[in-house]
Amino acid sequence: MQITTHATQPIDGQKPGTSGLRKKTEVFSQADYLQNYVQAIFDVIEPEGRTYVLGGDGRYFNDPAIATILRMAAANGVRKMIVGQSGLLSTPAASHLIRKYETDGGFILSASHNPGGPNGDFGLKFNIPSGGPAPEAVTNAIHARTLEITEYRTSRDEAPTVDQIGRYALGDMEVEVIDPVADYADLMETLFDFDGIRELIATGFTLRFDAMHAVTGPYAVEILERRLGAKSGSVVNGRPSPDFGGGHPDPNPVWARDLVGHMMDPDGPDFGAASDGDGDRNMIMGRGIYVTPSDSLAVIAANAHLAPGYAGGIKGIARSMPTSAAADRVARKLGVEAHETPTGWKFFGTLLDAGRATICGEESAGTGSNHVREKDGLWAVLMWLNIIAARNQTVQQIMDDHWAEYGRTYYSRHDYEEVDSDVASALMDDLRAALETLPGKSFAGLTVIEAEDFDYTDPVDGSQAKAQGIILRFEGGARAVLRLSGTGTAGATIRLYLENHEAPDGNLAQDPQKALERVAQAADEIAGIEARTGRDVPDVVT
Ligand code: G6P
Ligand code: ZN
């Protein structure tokens, strides 16, 4: 094969964040940008003779990026690339393929829930053979390599088009284009009671799945409509579009407000759900009710045994630190381990590999299990459908029963987006500096009993992550957490996470924003969010 070696120079800022490298599309598509980063990955992972999975969420720049990566893979000695047809693979499906075909890892092209298009975002993430995102030791090495890179290699031959299933050659490298949906759908059939769900649907249960013009459309049509019999049209916005129909493919009450509208209609469907750009996030709704991701995790953990794949019980539950403690209460009752990790799915990897967690979840609309090493939007949807079918209850009844048993952990996240980066860092720095002075003081009538910066030591491999978010605990059990988003591409996003637990015999039917008003006020008095940012309301409330 003819290989061209291009001279290049390091490009600043190629540092992966919470989940891979994400940048504005115009940054990613500038000369040598993608190439430098991909070569840095290859320089770190020793690709000769190896096999990788490749696919993305279909956003703008997906196709040229696939071709570039294929040509560079061939030039770097890769033996085989397994590519989703038309370059499509949802993130959980990619994770599954990496595991199922025992490959040496995979390249996932996505900026997840961030908008796509020439003015949107693009991203690239490398996953390791377990199917999970590369751990920080690997991403740090990749970043270090981007700072010293001098050349990249690419094949002189063009990459094959990947629109048709089949086997192709690029020099000595094999390119196998596969159906992006089939393996994943088969896996789901092994985990959930498809007969039970089919029967539920056959007896008139209605659902609406909003794919938000993103990658889960084809997966949801195959699984929900074809295999489970939901009537055609139950999946809406099911055609992946390069700019997600001009929308923001993030399944939360703000960006999926169309779905919320349908679900709040008294004549609306029984069940509603949505997923994000690359299919790893989920939003769960019943008629008249939105289930917060933290509650969804707790309900899934408490009921997982109803699904055939988890009939033997679960080994442990892991949640990210800002996620509510609702799941911990379930773990206590089940007598299984409860883990609290930093934000970012990659921190669950070691726990899943070691069999110390079966179910994982994050407040950022991610839930999943040990079936893959990414969070999984459609998995969460199917788990809920399985639970609804097995319990023969509505979403509202399931939540009421759950809260009556465990109490209700009121929860909400307030986001302040595109804040000036200096203002946001100063806010966090000043808050950190003040932590020691806070205990014993009262704000908005709430006394701080503990204020700390979250440091984590992985119980499996001992790796450490420091300064992962500020935790403020108040007398009476309320908690506020502040951290800066690690996934944004413009300015800084300040996230304020609020929770307050109400015992089973307490008032379980409050408006969450009301139930959390005081702790929100206290956190603002402490951190000075409004005063410093000049915003008097958050941009997004989940
Ligand atoms: C991505 C990761 C999640 C993480 C989330 C947090 O979606 O895959 O694991 O929870 O980002 O994003 P943030 O913007 O809060 O850093
Ligand atoms: Zn995502």
The per-residue pLDDT string of the chain (542 residues; one tens digit each, 9 = 90 and over) reads 899 999 999 999 999 887 799 999 999 999 999 999 999 999 999 999 999 999 999 999 999 999 999 999 999 999 999 999 999 999 999 999 999 999 999 999 999 999 999 999 999 999 999 999 998 889 999 999 999 999 999 999 999 999 999 999 999 999 999 999 999 999 999 999 999 999 999 999 999 999 999 999 999 999 999 999 999 999 999 999 999 999 999 999 989 999 999 999 999 999 999 999 999 999 999 999 999 999 999 999 999 999 999 999 999 999 999 999 999 999 999 999 999 999 999 899 999 999 999 999 999 999 999 999 999 999 999 999 999 999 999 999 999 999 999 999 999 999 999 999 999 999 999 999 999 999 999 999 999 999 999 999 999 999 999 999 999 999 999 999 999 998 776 789 999 999 999 999 999 999 999 999 999 999 999 999 999 999 989 998 88
Q: What is the predicted pLDDT for the residue at 542? A: 87
Q: What is the dihedral of CA 249, 227, 186, 356, to 10 degrees?
A: 60
Whole-prediction pTM value?
Answer: 0.94
Report the distance separating Cα 450 and Cα 390, nearest Å.
42
Does residue 388 share a domain with residue 274? yes
Does residue 71 share a domain with residue 147? yes
The H-or-E segment that residue 449 falls in is strand 446-453
Report the distance separating Cα 87 and Cα 450, nearest Å.
49
Does residue 256 share a domain with residue 209? yes
Report the distance separating Cα 88 and Cα 145, nearest Å.
28
Q: What does the buried/exposed string (b/e) look like for 269-287 if buried means 16 or more CB atoms within 10 Å of the residue's CB?
A: bbbbbbbbbbbbbbbbbbb
Does residue 148 share a domain with residue 138? yes
- CATH code, domain carrying 432: 3.30.310.50
How many distinct structural domains can be found in the chain?
3
The domain boundary, picked from 147, 179, 211, lies at: 179
For ligand 1, the distance from its centroid to the CA atom of residue 365, given in whole angstroms, is: 9
Q: Which two structure tokens, joined as six digits, stand for 412?
A: 């909400």
pLDDT tens digits for 381-390? 999 999 999 9
Using CA positions, which residue lies closest to atom 14 of ligand 1?
485
Does residue 491 share a domain with residue 347? no
Name the residue type at position 49: G
The answer to whether 1 touches 155, Cβ cutoff 8 Å, is yes
Name the residue type at position 354: A
Task: List the domain range (segments joined by +) for residue 175.
Answer: 3-179
Q: What percent of the chain has pLDDT over 70?
A: 100
Ligand at shortest distance from the CA of 366: 1
For ligand 2, the distance from its centroid to the CA atom of residue 378, given in whole angstroms, is: 12
Q: What is the predicted pLDDT for the residue at 241? A: 96
The domain boundary, picked from 344, 371, 406, lies at: 406
Q: Is 296 a catalytic residue?
A: no
Ligand at shortest distance from the CA of 279: 2
Using CA positions, which residue lies closest to atom 4 of ligand 1?
344
List helix spans (H) across 119-253: 136-146, 182-191, 194-202, 216-220
Does residue 91 share a domain with residue 147? yes
Q: Which of 248, 20, 256 is nearest to 119 (CA)?
A: 248
For 75, 382, 387, the CA distances from 197, given in Å and listed in that order, are 47, 9, 9
Report the distance separating Cα 134 and Cα 108, nearest Å.
11
Does residue 375 share a domain with residue 277? yes
The domain boundary, picked from 151, 179, 207, lies at: 179
Q: Which of 281, 323, 343, 413 to mutate to test the pocket of ligand 1 (most atoms within 8 A of CB)?
A: 343
Does residue 312 share a domain with residue 232? yes
Report the distance separating Cα 516 and Cα 312, nearest Å.
37
For ligand 2, the distance from its centroid to the CA atom of residue 241, given in whole angstroms, is: 16
End-to-end Cα separation, the chain, in angstroms: 52
Dihedral (CA of 237, 241, 243, 245) sign: negative
Report the distance separating Cα 29 and Cα 158, nearest Å.
18
Report the distance separating Cα 403 and Cα 201, nearest Å.
26
Q: What is the predicted pLDDT for the residue at 270? A: 98
For ligand 1, the distance from its centroid to the CA atom of residue 195, given in whole angstroms, is: 34
* Mean per-residue pLDDT of the chain: 96
β-strand pairing of 470-474 with 479-484: antiparallel
Does residue 207 share a domain with residue 150? no
Q: What is the predicted pLDDT for the residue at 485? A: 92
Ligand at shortest distance from the CA of 492: 1
Residue with structure tokens 């199922």? 100
Which residues does ligand 1 sit against, CB inside 6 Å? Answer: 18-19, 112, 320, 343-345, 362, 364, 366, 485-487, 495
Residue with structure tokens 């195959």? 222
Report the distance separating Cα 305 and Cα 337, nearest Å.
16
Residue 455: Cβ-neighbour burial (10 angstroms; 0-12, 13-18, 19+): exposed
pLDDT tens digits for 484-536? 998 776 789 999 999 999 999 999 999 999 999 999 999 999 999 999 999 98
Catalytic residue among 19, 112, 130, 241: 112
Q: What is the predicted pLDDT for the residue at 164? A: 98
Instruction: Quote the Cα angle for 471-328-505, to 5°.
Output: 100
For ligand 2, the distance from its centroid to the CA atom of residue 280, given in whole angstroms, is: 5
Residue 422: Cβ-neighbour burial (10 angstroms; 0-12, 13-18, 19+): exposed
Residue 480: Cβ-neighbour burial (10 angstroms; 0-12, 13-18, 19+): buried
Report the distance separating Cα 52 and Cα 201, nearest Å.
38
- CATH code, domain carrying 97: 3.40.120.10
Q: What is the predicted pLDDT for the residue at 383? A: 98
Does residue 243 share a domain with residue 169? no
**Residue 176: what are its φ and ψ, rounded to 5°?**
-105, 115
Q: Which two structure tokens, joined as six digits, stand for 5?
A: 């070696």
Q: What does the buried/exposed string (b/e) look like for 35-51 if buried means 16 or more CB atoms within 10 Å of the residue's CB?
A: bbbbbbbbbbbebeebb
The H-or-E segment that residue 95 falls in is helix 91-100
Q: Which two structure tokens, joined as six digits, stand for 258?
A: 């169309």
Name the residue type at position 126: F
Does residue 456 share a domain with residue 373? no
Please give the full DSSP string across 483-509, using - where no structure is assigned.
Answer: EE-SS-SSSEEEEEEEEEEE-TTS---
Q: What is the predicted pLDDT for the residue at 489? A: 67
Q: What is the predicted pLDDT for the residue at 19? A: 77
Residue with structure tokens 């506020």? 480
Does residue 198 share a domain with residue 169? no
Chain center to CA of 75: 32
Q: What is the predicted pLDDT for the residue at 346? A: 87
Report the distance separating Cα 283 and Cα 281, nearest Å.
7
